[in-house]
Amino acid sequence: MPDAVPVPTGDVVRLVVTVEVDDATWRRRREGRRRPDASFGLRLEVGLAGGSRVLLRDDRGWTIGLRSVGGAAAPLDVWEHLREEDVLATALPTALPEVDLEHPGPEDLAAYEELADLAAAAGVVVGAEHLRAVPHVVEPGPRLVSALRPPPAG
């Protein structure tokens, strides 16, 4: 197999974080089991000008849970309380915990240097400054979109 041809910096037009429901949570949701918790995973990719993407990492995620107060008898269903915008708002800080997204500064460059190294390992030549400057887009994966829909009545 020939070596990958490096993708030039200018072809990187965005950082994309896709949020997806993890396998165990998805299975429980499809089975209609009420649970007070749900887990999510992230894919962090660079988006290229032609529309394709290159995976940088998929090793981060989080779990959200509800607690019953006063010894509630029935388990709470986290899906009754989750909104897509709340889940998506958690994604970028989880994908880039080293970066102060509200007040970016020069100290945040190290996180983007790590991403540039990951991109280079995947055949995409891009600088940390460029990665920091491109739009950071967060989108729901198909299982998350489906899981957030109310279950069918019946």
pLDDT band at 55 (very low <50, low <70, confident <90, very high): very high
pLDDT for residue 4: 52
pTM of the model: 0.84
Among all chains, which residue has been given the structure tokens 């460059």? Answer: 109
Residue 106 is part of which domain span? 9-148
- Phi/psi of residue 112, each to 5°? -75, -30
Residue 86 above 70 pLDDT? yes
- Residue 1 resides in a domain: no
What's the per-residue H, E or C state across 38-95? EEEEEEEEEEECCCCEEEEEEEEEEEEECCCCCCCCCCCCHHHCCCHHHHHHHHHHHH
- Residue 2 resides in a domain: no
- Residue 45 resides in a domain: yes
**123 neighbors 54 (Cβ within 8 angstroms):** yes
Among all chains, which residue has been given the structure tokens 């899906």? Answer: 79
**Distance separating alpha carbons of residues 113 and 128, to the nearest angstrom:** 5
- Residue 37 resides in a domain: yes
- Residue 94 resides in a domain: yes
For range 110-126, the mean pLDDT: 93
Instruction: Give the dihedral of Cα atoms 103, 114, 40, 140; nearest 10 deg.
Output: 70
pLDDT for residue 1: 39
- Residue 153 resides in a domain: no
Q: How many domains does the chain have?
A: 1
- Residue 3 resides in a domain: no
pLDDT for residue 97: 84
- Residue 154 resides in a domain: no
Q: Give kind and range of the element (H or E) at residue 148.
A: helix 142-148
Residue 143 above 90 pLDDT? yes
